[in-house]
Amino acid sequence: MLTLFYSPHARSVDNEIGRGSGFADVALSVAGRKLAVELGQHYAGQQLDAVFSSDLQRAAVTAAIAFGKRGLPIVLDARLREFDYGTMTQFPIAQIDEEIPRRITEPFPEGESVLMAVERVGAFLREIIREYEGKTVVIIGHRATKYGLAYWCSDIALETMVTSPWEWRDVPIWRYELRAAQLNRRVIVHAL
């Protein structure tokens, strides 16, 4: 079994103005850098073996600030990125949120679908579970990353995930457990 802790990247400049960054490589805001320090403090007592992060700077910098002084390997991986919103990149987040339920199998214009993002997170998990079986890792990512983790580590349907409001937490840490057998199931999507 692999124990996974997930945390979203700290606040970005796009978050502060209500835009959905997607694959746009935007920076953390000043407040976001402070939140990344706090995130590291929340994990201070947790025994960890590695940190994995999206390669987009808002996630990568969050990981570096939160865990850089711990001497843990910090591995950047593009499969942990946010959804590719295509031509809707940096649109208002409310507009993107309205689109998400329609984008389970149909990609955003010139972008990707929820299913495509969940599959790339699954490919990442299939790779790391071999090396980190029995260990504990942190993943710093985005909404797409969380959907992928929730899908592969539980029995939550994609439709349920995309129609449920984001679960805000004072301490933004989610814990998942993953067994290799869970990665063998096929993604099944039902029309809404």
Q: Is 9 a catalytic residue?
A: yes
Catalytic residue among 16, 42, 82, 133: 82
Distance between CA atoms of residues 183 and 118, nearest Å: 11
Give every CB contact of residue 65 below 8 A, 6+ residues apart in sequence.
Answer: 10, 33, 36, 37, 39, 40
Give dist(CA 84, CA 192) in Å, integer: 22
Q: Which of 9, 99, 112, 142 is catalytic?
A: 9
Helix, strand and coil percent figures for the chain, each rounded to 5 = 45, 15, 40
Report in angstroms the alpha-carbon separations of 58 from 36, 80, 103, 107, 177: 10, 12, 24, 23, 25
Q: Phi and psi for 100 in degrees, rounded to 5? A: -50, -50
Q: Is 84 labeled as ligand-binding? A: yes
42 is catalytic: no
Pairing state of beta strands 136-141 and 174-178?
unpaired
Q: Is 58 annotated as a binding residue?
A: yes
Residue 94 near residue 100 (C-beta atoms within 8 A): no
The answer to whether the annotation marks 82 as part of a ligand binding site is yes
What are the binding residues for substrate? Answer: 58, 82-85
What are the binding residues? Answer: 58, 82-85
Return the active site residues: 9, 82
